[in-house]
Chains A and B, each alone.
Chain A
Amino acid sequence: MTESVETAIRSSIFTPEHETLRASVRAFVERELAPHAEEWEAAGDFPDWVFAKLGDAGYIGLAYPEEVGGQGGDYISTLVLKEEMARCGSGGVGMAVAVQSDMATPPILKFGTRAQIDEYLRPAIKGTKIACLGITEPGAGSDVANIQTLAARDGTDWVINGRKTFITNGVRAHFCTLVARTNKPAGHHGFSLFLVPTDTPGWTVTKRLDKLGMHSSDTAEIAIDDVRLPGDALLGVEGEGFAQIMWELQGERLVGVAGSIAGSQLLFERCLQYAKERHTFGKPIGKNQAISHRLATMATEIEAARQMIYDAAWKFGNGEYPVKEISMAKLYGGIVASRVANEAMQIFGGAAYTMDLPIQRAWRDSRLIRIGGGTDEVMREVISKLMGL
């Protein structure tokens, strides 16, 4: 059919400029981050200079406007960063950076005052102030409306009390974009966002949580006891925190799954290479249909997930609010990422089960996407509601 086509339809969301950016980010990740992956995984931490170096290179603020210290790029450029970060070899690093660039800070640009932008967003984009996002509590995850942390007015001040948990970057963060209840009986209009410096008295990291995967990223449990903040700590409109955080969650889910699927692609390529090199019974294992068809299945599902992500990113970047598309991309992509990693374990066999190979890490790291940012089950609830069910 190709000989008679007169219109040039675009077959990629990425422009040549995005590909140039991709090449520089890839070089950066391979040179500055990947060599440290083993060390950081073993330490269960990575140094703060990673944020600063990424900030220096302009990577944290790719899609932020130049007026706030960003690069003025489009949403697709931040997608490039998420995909390339998967090459650093440690899921926790990518996740921590994603919290910094696409989860804790977009609400500051969208809802913040000039002063809040100067105080928090600019240094976050530079990588000199590390951000975390405080939504989840011991008793409330995706059930955001059940958040119990309470911010009460005291004169012009706010006094906040509560508990947060599973907070990525929470141990080292300089500030937290926090969700708290500001008006108990008001339901969905009873929540507000706050920007909280973590050195405020009463803010305590009570535990550094030990996790199955994402070892290089720090995850905190936080106690908030009579944390007193000035009135201007409120981010956005009082009582609109629920809608604001629902908006944030869309970006979070999208970059989360984009990073996961980029990781799946790398893992697939590793499996492919292994299938060609590893011989059993006198031939490469990839010459067995049991393996080659499995790889074909993995490749197909990765491609389908990727195209869903690209479609949703295209819309989100164009100012649409595609909740259903993003939820579906996260659900499908998360399941694919988790399945691909499990298949990789099988293809690599015994070697995969040793801690010497990074396959087990990809397997452990990839398991989170089906839980974090809203579980598969929560995605199905969102999707079915949007289907009118």
Chain B
Amino acid sequence: MNERWDLFTEDHVAFRDSVRQFIQKEIAPNVEEWERAHDFPRDLYLRFGELGLLGLKYEEAYGGTGPDYIADAIVNEELAQCGAGGVAAGIGGHKDLGSLYIYRFGTEDQRQRWLVPSIRGELIGALGVTEPGTGSDVANIQTKAARDGDHFVLSGQKAFITNGSKADYVVVAARTGGEGYGGISLIVVEKDTPGFTTNRMRTVGWWTSHTAELFFDECRVPAEHLLGPENEGFICIMKNFQWERLVMALAAVAAAQKTLETAIAYARDREAFGRPVAKFQVWRHRFADMETEIAAARALTYQALRKLAAGEDALREVSMAKWLATELDWKVADEAVQVHGGYGYMMEFGVQRAWRDARLGPIGGGTTEIMKEIIAKTYGL
């Protein structure tokens, strides 16, 4: 068997086991408490750093152990099964957005300053692109960064920023040039910079993660915080979208699998009319359909991962995987609530959280509708 088609080597399988043990032992048992607190401890980033789970994409020179994108993908898959979408989002917002931008577009100095401590989990990163009036329509960003000597002066507002009110630094997309996609740059803004404030938003799901509005009011940032070439931020954002969306697809498939397992376990235990609910054909067939659709979404997502890991462009496959997997995760969660009956509607059962958390998938990181626009464009429509 050619393991390169299989994606995962024996080492990867062993690595997955160890990641799973860590997550099921140190995260899953705390989820209920963290959900009630609407937060998870900052130390968790340090723990991830200590275990080397934040540096899988990077060379040893930065404290990483990679690059091994397949191993990194395994972390996302396992994290998606911890029982709280917010924990996965909080870690992912740092690992696959904030710090990844520093690595991909940063200078050596910038990498030393922000990436190295990020890999150790000492600094937490975030990405600030979305605005109240602009989501996937990135070219329409309104936040301004005016040059003033050796500083940029930022003014404007961001919305729905994962880790926004927790991060030590935010990679902010702001307009440094004219209208349209050619006038956008990436600028790193550190916490506590005068003129930079945040406001945590209340969300339907993902309770343990910090989703925030960011406000920039004459916020002065040193010019050396410019990340990547000036006015080429749009291209940088588009480049990173592939990994960001792939990670969402991977997480959605893994979460859907976990939700299905939970639903089946309940259906085996619960009896109705003298036999387990799982023995009714209507549920057996629905479970078979879910298992099948999860397998389909996984096959598609792994193909996108395979292409990205092989260094090929995977815009089409990633866009396909992102919408198919996240829509499916949501559908499976809805079915899981259904099989739980009245208990599915009760807050003491975790299935309602899977339902609330999964609903973000088809919205965040580019909606399903945006994904279909992209796919259609790749076919010249």
Contacts and interface: CB of A to CB of B under 8 A. Distances in A.
A293 B284 contact: no
B253 to A, nearest CB: 11
A318 B1 contact: yes
Q: Say what secondary structure dominates the interface of chain B.
A: helix
B180 interface: no
A360 B296 CA distance: 27
A305 B302 CA distance: 13
A308 B379 contact: no
B122 interface: no
B284 A4 contact: no
A273 to B, nearest CB: 10
Contact of B289 (A13, A299, A325, A380): A380
B47 interface: no
B320 interface: yes
Contacts of B306: 9-11
Given A377-B285, A387-B287, A5 B372 contact: no
B287 A331 contact: no
A144 B135 CA distance: 55
Which of A299, A331, A384 neighbours the largest number of chain B CB atoms within 10 Å of its CB?
A: A384
A307 B285 contact: no
Interface in B288-345: 288-289, 291-293, 295-297, 299-300, 302-303, 306-312, 316-317, 320, 323-324
Interface in A264-317: 272, 275-276, 286-287, 289, 291-293, 295-297, 299-301, 303-305, 307-308, 310-311, 314-315
B198 to A, nearest CB: 29
A299 B375 contact: yes
B36 interface: no
B376 interface: yes
A9 B300 contact: no
B296 A299 contact: no
Contacts of B2: 10
A51 interface: no
Contact of B375 (A275, A296, A377): A296
Given A328-B295, A331-B292, A384 B303 contact: no
A272 B381 contact: yes
A152 to B, nearest CB: 37
B158 interface: no
Contact of B299 (A7, A8, A307): A307
Contacts of A299: 316, 320, 375, 379
Contacts of A377: 285
A287 B311 contact: no
A6 interface: yes
Contacts of A304: 296-297, 299-300, 320, 324
Nearest to B306: A11
B7 interface: yes
A10 B310 contact: yes
Interface of B: 1-2, 4-5, 7, 57-59, 66-67, 69-70, 104, 242-243, 264, 278-279, 283-285, 287-289, 291-293, 295-297, 299-300, 302-303, 306-312, 316-317, 320, 323-324, 369, 371-373, 375-376, 379-381
17 contacts: A1-B57, A2-B312, A296-B371, A296-B372, A296-B375, A296-B379, A300-B320, A303-B317, A308-B296, A328-B292, A328-B296, A379-B288, A380-B289, A387-B288, A387-B291, A389-B264, A389-B288
Given A5-B311, A6-B67, A9-B309, 14 more contacts: A2-B308, A2-B312, A4-B67, A276-B380, A289-B373, A295-B381, A304-B297, A328-B295, A379-B288, A381-B285, A383-B291, A384-B284, A384-B285, A387-B291
